[in-house]
Amino acid sequence: MEVILKEDVANLGHRGDVVKVADGYGRNFLLPRKLALQATLANKVVIEQMKAAAARRFATEKAQAEELATKLTPIVLSFTRKSGEAGQLFGSVTSADIAAEIETKGVEIDRRKIQLADPIKTVGEYDVAIKLHREVVAHIKVTVLAEATEEVAAEAPAVEAPAAE
């Protein structure tokens, strides 16, 4: 079965592509979810019009993503977390934490766009990629610091409070 994709489909193609798929996949998955149209002559004409509109939309989305990338590049995020002896964190820094911290800087980013393979679980500096568009990726620096432990607080000179009467 030949279909025309209306949306980008992972491991299959991009919007507007004419692809050959198994009959069941087309009938039971792509067509009901409105991800594709059957490849008829009438639909091919409609898709050509959709491609032109999509090209214009793609250009504006890319320009917006590039503008957002220039805002994100100078941002350096710092997280302070409790950690063990070897710099291992009790917990982790996730993409949701990073998205929330970026939002406090005045830029709203969907956490799903932050490209973290695994949550950050050790102290250190990291370069985190944010995929804003198919062709635009911004990189920000994330620093994870260890929280001061009780031992360090005990070594500091204690200030005595006057006795209450």
- pLDDT, one tens digit per residue, over 3-54 is 988 888 889 988 788 899 999 999 999 999 999 989 888 888 887 887 788 7
Pairing of strands 76-81, 2-5: unpaired
Q: Is 61 left (phi over 0), alpha (psi -120 to 50) or beta?
A: alpha
Q: What residue ranges define each of the domains in the chain, with the CATH number in brackets? A: 2-58 (3.40.5.10), 71-153 (3.10.430.100)
Say if residues 111 and 129 touch (Cβ distance below 8 Å): no
For 59-68, what is the mean pLDDT? 91
Report residue 28: phi and psi, to 5°: -95, -15
Say if residues 149 and 80 touch (Cβ distance below 8 Å): no
Which band of pLDDT confidence, cut at 50, 70 and 90, is reported for residue 153?
Answer: very low
| Ranges 45-54, 101-110, 114-123, 139-148: which has the least confidence | 45-54
This prediction has a pTM of 0.63
Q: Which residues does 96 contact at the CB level (< 8 Å), separation at least 6?
A: 111
